[in-house]
Chains A and B, each alone.
Chain A
């Protein structure tokens, strides 16, 4: 019996040791594959959110990017693109793990930033330190190109308060509103969108008389909607994602829709949400402002919208447009350096110097803080031919994230926050 026991113990030990050695060998064998000479292809790491609660917008992003790639037969600037898609599911920690994988394992030459600001901030420090060029097409947190930028960050999307600045003026001077109540999602994005609007609206003599913050993912919007003051000229709202549909429905069902005009941040009327509205009248008449509208009538926009509709049977949301245009941006940048994407410094310089005169959304170039200067469109939701469309009613040309303020002065103020600017007329 003792004999037997020893044999078995040795066996176990030997087996485990053998297993360990084999595993180490296997890993060693993996190594040459992993560190293979830089492949001639141009590796783009795409951190997507194609599962989880933000999946719909994440899908639109991937659709837009892949549509551009397929139009170009996967060649950007003459380089064969190897697109590596990694799903982060909207979870910041996963986004960071995926970024590590794409940079350290796949050695991509370019990384696209994930969707959510929380994910973007999660990967921010790591990617800034590694120096891999990263292109922000959706994540719009102001500070990523203001107080917390990095040399290797390129933003071709927008910053959250960028459309709010012209829109605040528009609400005061064109729409002639004097008193407005705001209701926004209770997190950084909501603060920035509302903050930018409040700043310029009040500079033009308007008054924000109430600010309500509702948590992200509020199942029932009625406790917030019923608190809105009814003695205002308009309500400025920025719920996000599915909250938009619940908010819009509650806004109408509680009898506000017919009484008080509803305006708001861009996501209040994003094409991805207009398709899910319970009733068209929940959304018709909403006025918002953004650098994109599927109802834009320029030639470039029509061409893109028609092609996208033909391919995916839906109107392109801003998530889709911005990724399509991002593809165009990369294409141009790589072309300018004859495909030498391994020269990181030159690639970055080229990425920063791109100007697109003819993107679907209109002309784009970057400011010295790596954020785009682009048109902002005031859009009104209309119901036409059985679908809700954002129709452009006014265009602000070449808007910078600093609007008409001097950047140095602007950056002295804190980033827009829950209580900044303070609500002087609330009470």
Chain B
């Protein structure tokens, strides 16, 4: 464990240093793509809390992203709230939505859970799309100005927003890392491996799952806030099933149950999509093929595979943490 932590820390500091130096050398377009990577990365990491650590595959994660984004839209434009109060309210709104949806979804397991989260996600999409008087319908909400955090600390330029987004990402990643390494996180892994065993051991399984569901929603809300302020608008496409599917794909590509893998997956997807679309018009075909190939041949994801290669842990040493978790049905009650 210590060994992993050290090399992990080293890797993180090298990457952070490189990212800090980037605005000096890289064209601004790459800063845009990286800022997007950060937003989606936080979203994907929060999803990994559910998928990788608790064994709850969710197909409606964009809902919390979207709720936060839309609340930003309303608070920052119509009501003219400042950045910090608006951000706090948005994260609360996302967590509140998760708390509500969790009540409905948590009791279900396996495929039921997936499909119920999908349907709940589509409710939010439906509201975004059709509740035109509040959400602007298809046109979405626009005109969200990049904030000035304090005197002289304006995020209007892409360079400053990039650093801000990076800081938020680091903070979110560190917080989530603390969660998954805490006793609470260990209990979650226990639940992933065997719910019934944990129940016998006296753990309140429902409560643990419910809490992590809300927590994931809140972190996803952070991503949504960042995204809304970065792009200056939100639209129904940001809440759509395809956005949820993308987040799940990021988790799997990076390696589910590796937390930081989700960031790598996010980078992969954002860069692939934007660099490839200039070359080919068949992005969806490629995305589909990547998905199928990843499941068939690289179920561990990039970070999972790298970890296996670099550290040569004995196979199965980390349990299913580095695999696409096989959510079982046997526990369906």
Given contacts A5-B3, A215-B130, contact A97 B274 (CB under 8 A): yes
Contacts of A20 in B (CB 8 A): 14-15, 17-18
CA distance A284 to B15 in the complex (A): 64
Contacting B at CB under 8 A, from A108-151, are 116-118, 121-122, 124-126, 141
Within the complex, the shortest CB–CB distance from B61 to chain A, in Å, comes to 16
- Across the interface, do A51 and B281 meet the contact criterion of CB distance under 8 Å? yes
Instruction: Classify chain A's interface size.
Output: 35 or more
Contacts of B274 in A (CB 8 A): 97, 101
Minimal Cβ-Cβ distance residue in B for A188: B139
CA distance A98 to B273 in the complex (A): 11
Minimal Cβ-Cβ distance residue in B for A35: B27
| One of A11-19, A168-176, A199-207, A244-252 contacting the partner | A11-19
- Across the interface, do B11 and A12 meet the contact criterion of CB distance under 8 Å? yes
For the residues of B in contact with A, the DSSP-based class is helix
Contacts of A24 in B (CB 8 A): 18, 21-22, 25
Q: A118: which of B17, B28, B232, B235 is its contact (CB, 8 Å)? A: B235
- Across the interface, do B26 and A92 meet the contact criterion of CB distance under 8 Å? no
Within the complex, the shortest CB–CB distance from A170 to chain B, in Å, comes to 29
Contacts of B326 in A (CB 8 A): none
Q: A188: which of B21, B28, B137, B233 is its contact (CB, 8 Å)? A: B137
Q: A16: which of B10, B129, B283 is its contact (CB, 8 Å)? A: B10
Starting from the known contacts A13-B10, A117-B139, A418-B133, 16 additional A-B residue pairs (CB-CB under 8 Å) come to A8-B310, A13-B11, A24-B21, A27-B22, A30-B27, A35-B27, A87-B281, A91-B235, A93-B237, A96-B233, A124-B142, A125-B232, A126-B232, A186-B130, A187-B132, A215-B130
Q: B140: which of A23, A35, A122, A126 is its contact (CB, 8 Å)? A: A122
- Across the interface, do A122 and B142 meet the contact criterion of CB distance under 8 Å? yes
How many residues on chain B are close to A (CB under 8 Å)? 45
Contacts of A5 in B (CB 8 A): 3
Within the complex, the shortest CB–CB distance from B308 to chain A, in Å, comes to 13
- Across the interface, do B132 and A12 meet the contact criterion of CB distance under 8 Å? no
Contacts of B32 in A (CB 8 A): 97, 100-101, 104
Contacts of B130 in A (CB 8 A): 186, 215
A9 sits at the interface (CB 8 A): yes
Within the complex, the shortest CB–CB distance from A208 to chain B, in Å, comes to 19
- 5 A-B pairs with the lowest CB-CB distances in the bound complex, closest first: A105-B29, A20-B18, A187-B137, A13-B10, A92-B235
Contacts of B311 in A (CB 8 A): 8
B82 sits at the interface (CB 8 A): no
Q: A28: which of B7, B25, B138, B140 is its contact (CB, 8 Å)? A: B25
A216 sits at the interface (CB 8 A): yes
